[in-house]
């Protein structure tokens, strides 16, 4: 790149930084003030019940505002600001959503950021625009427009009273323009660096994240070990025992073919039935490990096939424009299967609805029944196992089950579809 091209590029960068800083400052101040004020009012209204309804929406707006700034930081200054919000499942009642968001450290980090953003953040966003635009006034004064300004007018620290002082203002404007050329882009970057310093998760949060991941990994390992023991037990007690019995029957048949053909025929019929039973058990075992329909046709059809085997009338709604990765599909399938098993065994429902869809980077599965309600996530319950299974993939589980029903169980796993 030639010297002329370099200077032209820097000039464009200076003007662009000024324009971006001005636009950001004009949106930043009212946006930050509005978000901060609404958040304080909504949280203050929680004790009288109004805040339970409004707080999730207000805090979601704060998150959207913060995410918009993260996007601008990446696009305008190359500053990457991680987002560490805990996923919020759909379908949870307002009380659960409100206090889940208030327990999220990222929520309070956003609320601490807003006052700084409306003060120091506003100044650092406006400075590039000031450095770019303020010299225009000085040059206008230098070319004679000082006469239309009132007496004792000041430009910076230069009092304007005649043409000589107006030229002095022009010299000061040139200095400001040089500063803009050198620092406007850096000042805009400094604004986003300040934003990053306030919105980046703390070491304590990262440590907590590592702890959660360690626990979910341990749960996954324990679950896998238990699953292997179950498969071994089922093979030993089921298909293997039948195959051993078939072998013994075939040996007996071989000896009876000439001596007692009728008895040999009866044993052959028994061996044929044992082979059918062993094959059925092997198919059930394979289906429990990874259903063939799940591998071949995806989560939607696998859940439909699962619903057809239920003794309760079940409606399935699927809106999945693609397929998730195989481990995610498997986790979602068995989570839905466990929830359906609980509903059939304990809810007393005569109708179940299943909804599968993908949106906002989340695979969501909702199982609703019209049973007696009262389902809770407790130690040793099937739902606790579902929660552990989803936690391996950063997924979440929400249960709304008032006494008398209905029960709604919502599962979410962050993923992308192919």
User: Which among 237, 263, 289 is the end of a domain?
Assistant: 289
pTM above 0.85, yes or no: no
Strand partners, 359: 362
Q: Which pLDDT value is given to residue 88?
A: 66
User: Which among 289, 323, 343 is the end of a domain?
Assistant: 289
Pair of tokens at residue 21 = 């800083």
Same-domain pairing of 62 and 125: yes
Same-domain pairing of 113 and 55: yes
In a domain, 21, yes or no: yes
Same-domain pairing of 132 and 185: yes
In a domain, 152, yes or no: yes
Pair of tokens at residue 88 = 């919020």
Residue 381 gets which letter from DSSP?
S
In a domain, 133, yes or no: yes
Residue 162 gets which letter from DSSP?
S
In a domain, 220, yes or no: no
Residue 224 exposed, middle or buried by CB count within 10 Å (0-12, 13-18, 19+): exposed
Consecutive H or E run containing 220:
helix 203-234
In a domain, 17, yes or no: yes
Supply the CATH number for residue 353's domain.
3.30.565.10
Same-domain pairing of 356 and 371: yes
- From the list 72, 70, 62, the residue with the least C-alpha distance to 108 is 62
Same-domain pairing of 272 and 307: no
Q: Which pLDDT value is given to residue 177?
A: 79
Same-domain pairing of 141 and 117: yes
Same-domain pairing of 65 and 109: yes
Q: Which residues lie closer than 8 Å to 290 by C-beta, 6 or more apart?
A: 330
Tally Cβ neighbours within 10 Å of residue 202. Answer: 11
Same-domain pairing of 253 and 341: no
In a domain, 367, yes or no: yes
Name the residue range of residue 364's domain. 296-414
Same-domain pairing of 52 and 128: yes
Strand partners, 367: 354, 409
Q: Which residues lie closer than 8 Å to 129 by C-beta, 6 or more apart?
A: 18, 19, 21, 22, 25
Same-domain pairing of 359 and 314: yes
Cβ atoms of residues 246 and 271 within 8 Å? yes
User: Which among 247, 267, 289 is the end of a domain?
Assistant: 289
Same-domain pairing of 302 and 282: no
Under-70 pLDDT residues of the chain:
1-10, 87-93, 134, 143-151, 155-156, 161, 166, 202-246, 249, 277-278, 280-291, 378-381
Q: Which pLDDT value is given to residue 113?
A: 93
In a domain, 108, yes or no: yes
Query: Could you give the number of structural domains in the chain?
Result: 3
Alpha-carbon gap, residue 343 to 284, rounded angstroms: 21
Same-domain pairing of 189 and 262: no
Longest alpha-carbon distance in the chain = 134
In a domain, 206, yes or no: no
Q: Output the CA torsion sign for 90, 92, 95, 101.
A: negative
């Amino acid at each position: 790149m030639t010297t002329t091209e370099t200077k032209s590029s820097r000039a464009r960068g200076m003007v662009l930084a000024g324009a971006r800083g001005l636009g950001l400052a004009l949106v930043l101040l009212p946006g930050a003030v509005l978000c901060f004020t609404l958040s304080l009012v909504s949280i203050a209204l929680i004790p009288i019940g109004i805040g339970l309804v409004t707080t999730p929406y207000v805090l979601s707006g704060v998150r959207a505002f913060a995410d918009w700034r993260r996007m601008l930081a990446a696009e305008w200054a190359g500053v990457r600001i991680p987002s560490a919000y805990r996923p919020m499942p759909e379908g949870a009642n307002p009380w659960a959503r409100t206090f889940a968001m208030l327990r999220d450290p990222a929520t309070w980090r956003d609320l601490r950021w807003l006052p700084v953003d409306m003060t120091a953040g506003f100044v650092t966003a406006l400075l590039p625009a000031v450095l770019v635009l303020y010299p225009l006034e000085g040059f206008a004064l230098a070319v004679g427009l000082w006469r239309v300004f009132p007496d004792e007018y000041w430009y910076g620290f230069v009092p304007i009273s005649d043409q000589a002082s107006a030229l002095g203002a022009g010299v000061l404007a040139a200095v400001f323009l040089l500063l803009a050329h050198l620092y406007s882009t850096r000042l805009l970057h400094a604004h986003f660096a300040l934003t990053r310093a306030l919105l980046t998760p703390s070491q304590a949060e990262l440590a907590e994240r590592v702890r959660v991941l360690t626990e979910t990994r341990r749960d996954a390992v324990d679950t896998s070990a238990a699953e292997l023991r179950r498969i071994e037990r089922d093979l030993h007690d089921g298909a293997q025992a039948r195959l051993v019995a078939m072998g013994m029957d075939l040996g007996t048949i071989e000896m009876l073919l000439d001596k007692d053909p009728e008895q040999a025929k009866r044993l052959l019929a028994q061996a044929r039935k044992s082979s059918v039973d062993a094959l059925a058990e092997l198919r059930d075992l394979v289906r429990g490990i990874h259903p063939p329909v799940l591998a071949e046709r995806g989560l939607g059809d696998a859940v439909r096939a699962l619903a057809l085997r239920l003794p309760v009338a079940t409606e399935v709604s699927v809106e999945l424009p693609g397929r998730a990765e195989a481990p995610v599909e498997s986790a979602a399938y068995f989570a839905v299967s466990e929830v359906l098993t609980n509903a059939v065994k304990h809810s007393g429902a005569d109708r179940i609805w299943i909804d599968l869809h993908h949106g906002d980077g989340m695979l969501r599965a909702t199982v609703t029944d019209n049973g007696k309600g009262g389902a809770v996530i407790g130690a040793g319950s099937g739902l606790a196992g579902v929660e552990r299974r989803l936690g391996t993939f950063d997924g979440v589980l929400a249960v709304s089950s008032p006494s008398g029903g209905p029960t709604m169980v919502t599962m979410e796993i962050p993923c992308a579809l192919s």
